[in-house]
Each structure stands twice: as structure tokens, then as C-alpha cells.
Amino acid sequence: MTETPSPASRIEALEIRIAYLDQTIETLNTTITAQWKQIDALSREMLNLRERLEDAEAKSGGVPASERPPHY
């Protein structure tokens, strides 16, 4: 038969697992924070580019819808 682990060894095993889980959670939190910073920066950059495009279109009179390209 197999021997039943003692309560002390079970508690030690649980403490080890908790330590690894805490480390994993900390790593995930760090990664998520970095990703959100990057998402925020990319969102600001996209908004800036959209505004620049709208300004350029407004200054040039908009995008010609029915005008043929010069190679025709």
C-alpha cells in the first residue's frame, strides 16, 4: 500500500505551490502592465495619425471620388 503523506509534508507542498503561483501572478501582472502601456501608446499614435490624415484631406480638398488616376 501507499503511505499517506503527513500533514506537515502536505502543508509544505502547498506552500511551495503557492510560492510558484505568486511568482507566476507577479510575472503576469508585469507583462500585462507593459502591454497596456504599449496599447495606450499605439492608440495615441493612431489617433495622431488619423488627425493628421484628416487635416491633410481637408487641406487638399478631400479625396477625389470620381477622378481617374493620372495613368489612364
- Per DSSP, helices labelled H in the chain are 7-59
pLDDT in tens, 8-47: 999 999 999 999 999 999 999 999 999 999 999 999 999 9
Backbone phi and psi for residue 12, each to the nearest 5 degrees, phi listed first: -60, -45
pLDDT in tens, 42-65: 999 999 999 999 999 888 876 666
Question: Please, which residues have CB within 8 angstroms of residue 63's CB and are 6 or more apart in sequence?
Answer: 57
Q: Is the pTM of this model over 0.85?
A: no
pLDDT reported for residue 63: 60
pLDDT reported for residue 68: 74
